[in-house]
Amino acid sequence: MMSKETNYPSSSGRGEASSIYGDGGGLAPLLATSNPPLALPKEDQSSSFGLRKENGCKEIAEAVKVKEGEEIREGAVTITLRRGISFYSSIQAHDGHWPAESAGPLFFLQPLVMALYVTGGLNTVLSPQHQKEIKRYLYNHQKVTVRTMFGTALSYIALRLLGEDPEDGEDMAMPRGRKWILDHGGLVMIPSWGKFWAAVLGVYEWSGCNPMPPEFWLLPKMFPIHPGKMLCYCRLVYMPMSYLYGKRFVGGVTPLIRSIRQELYNEPYHLINWNKSRYTVAKEDLYFPHPLIQDLTWEFLYHAVEPVLSRWPFSMLRQKALQVAIEHVQYEDENSRYLCIGCVEKVLCLIASWVQDPNSEAYKRHLARLPDYFWIAEDGLKLQTFGCQMWDAAFAIQAIISTNLSEEYGPTLRKAHNFIKASQVRENPSGNFTAMYRHISKGAWTFSTQDHGWQVSDCTAEGLKAALLLSQMSPDLVGEKMEAERFYDAVNVILSLQKFNPTEFFEDTLIEREYVECASSAIQGLSLFRKLHPTHRRKEIDDSISRAIRYMEDTQKPDGSWYGCWGICYTYGTWFAVEGLAAAGRNYNNSPALRKACEFLLSKQLACGGWGESYLSSRNKEYTNLQGNRANLVQTAWALLSLIEAGQANVDPKPIHRGNRVMINSQMEDDVRISSNPLQRQRIRAVLPLARLAADFASPEEEQSLSIAINGGGFTSPTAGGVIGLLRHR
């Protein structure tokens, strides 16, 4: 990121900047940091301020601070909890969810700019103010130290398409970016995904891309490389990519495109060896080298298969494959209401729809849903993943209920309850969905909203838990509970995913596998359901929980940790595993796994009393502290929740007390907490500290229900997690 101070327009909290629509707003300087993401996302200042103003936020009591060696009293915890919940309630949207940024990767945005340039919609879809904010976002993330060809080249190209000249940018940003690209081999060194988009735009040749043949869709379904056997996220990205590759589609070669061709290569464009360029990649981008079998497959397809398929009569096979590919694109478009599974596929399907028919209703509907992905923060306008509305709401509900202060926040819970009920998927995908490689979804919850349509095991389990907890409360306080049949539908989805696969989401790129986080959420959701509905599919639920428990115990690492795939990393995985084991009746005395988990977490506690794990743990598969041994509030909450659930307080509560002090003293005047996560899931910073504090002050008879109520699952999410952190200390 560029170390500069800039004034930023405020955000409305609904994904669009108020300044884009001329509403004005406050200004605040960028809080620079050497490690992305930015230190304090503006959405937690401006959008939250707007919601607090709309919701008529009451005055929040002064923050409590606990000195070293001072006893943590219940009154201090209660004040901290009320402050956290009051703040969090004040930033709730009217429909019951909590607007939050769900972004992180820089490369989400540039393909949209490229796609809209190709379709001719750049200046009609993106107003001058939109474009200004996008440019500011890209400039603000120009790195001074660590760079990649992927991010640098795509950003340079996007800025050129948005009207920036080769010599523009503060501190010569464009020339510096171009020099770095050329010094590192030019655009031919961009990795394969970048080569694809550059070829679509027309600043790279398809002959420099490795094959993405649509004919794979025509293979017998039993073939191991059939797209139907891919992880859903990979399959849905491959659909439009194979369609565009099969057509060798190239956007119009304008004077600007010709200019970019001259700017980003170290040799004349027409002299480049495109065949050789298929394998060139900058060392900064080479995260995982290709296995030999992959290179051999590409060579065979490139030199033997592709030349044949381009000639009649075999070209007829290509046309049939293209038709199948676009039919899959259309099916997914319609079943996601043109939202798509995520922002990567969204842009690919948008341009595929335009290539098939520039005047199609499908393309127009794609354009209409682009604002669902926009988010403006202190660093500019960005593209989100697909939202985390449902995920955050489920955590917030569980956190607030676990504090025993829920009767004070009835309106908040009622709105959240309405959102939970409205977000459940009520039907399966249309038509013969198994032929389209889809699974049942009736009764599921997604990561975001009902429109998204993609069932996820942990999101369904967390949604089920939240709905079940609310069903035990007075309808006068939280509204009418869901019908029992809707609970049964959710259980059916969870059980079916254990048989089918655990989550229907990414990891390992091509294949799906099991996750301790998903298993844990499922155990907790099913355990609470079994308690409240003991006769419904009892044997199946018992068997499912038993299998999940065995899986978690078998996957524990020798040091007592679990590897988490959906958060950072060993702290995250261990938290989920402990919560799942505890929900199934395991405790410190009867479970060696929980004792080892406590030993692991205690060994990672920092001198300040908190925990802080770097994203490098995920990459290096080894626990790594944050630089400077800094504590991270959310990870501290995860660790403390784990220790409490495992029964560490009965052995030695002092480490928990030290962590509690960090939690209480980290609460700011407005309850906003500083973010230091590479993936932006802003509300987790608010939610998990609440959860942690709440956990310390539960009475013994509340322990069992809280063990089910205060966990999470899936990615990460932020003031409610801090609250469940204080309630179990009494």
User: Distance between alpha carbon 317 and the CA centroid of its chain, in Å?
Assistant: 38
Q: What stretches of 91-121 show up as alpha helix (H) in DSSP?
A: 110-119
Q: How many CB atoms lie within 10 A of CB 142?
A: 24
The first and second tokens of residue 358, run together, are: 């520039």
Give me the active site residues, please: 458
Residues 6+ apart with CB under 8 A from 67: none
Residue 684: left if φ>0, alpha if ψ -120 to 50, beta else—which one? Answer: alpha
Q: Give the DSSP H/E element, type plus range, for residue 383.
A: strand 380-383
CA 650 to each of CA 73, 172, 587, 633, 704: distance values in angstroms, whole numbers, following the listed order: 19, 60, 11, 24, 15
Residue 220 one-letter amino acid: P
CA distance 375 to 133: 10
CA distance 715 to 730: 30
Q: Provide φ and ψ at 543, rounded to 5°.
A: -65, -40
Residues 6+ apart with CB under 8 A from 279: 210, 290, 295
Q: Give the DSSP H/E element, type plus range, for residue 337.
A: none
Residue 437: left if φ>0, alpha if ψ -120 to 50, beta else—which one? Answer: left
CA distance 698 to 729: 7
CA distance 594 to 104: 33
Q: Tell me the Cα Rg of the chain.
A: 26
CA distance 302 to 208: 10
Q: Provide φ and ψ at 489, rounded to 5°.
A: -60, -40
Q: Cβ distance 63 to 664 under 8 Å?
A: no
Rounded-to-10 torsion of CA 130, 135, 141, 144: -170
Per the DSSP assignment, residues forming a β-bridge with 377 are 380
Which is nearest to 680 in space by CA: 413, 383, 482?
383
Residues 6+ apart with CB under 8 A from 721: 395, 399, 634, 637, 684, 685, 686, 687, 688, 689, 690, 691, 692, 712
Per the DSSP assignment, residues forming a β-bridge with 680 are 103
Which is nearest to 154 in space by CA: 285, 8, 20?
285
CA distance 562 to 584: 17
CA distance 242 to 229: 16
Residues 6+ apart with CB under 8 A from 169: 139, 142, 159, 175, 176, 177
How many CA atoms within 13 Å lie on the side-chain side of 425?
Answer: 31
Q: How many CB atoms lie within 10 A of CB 124?
A: 10
Number of H helices, E strands in the chain: 31, 7
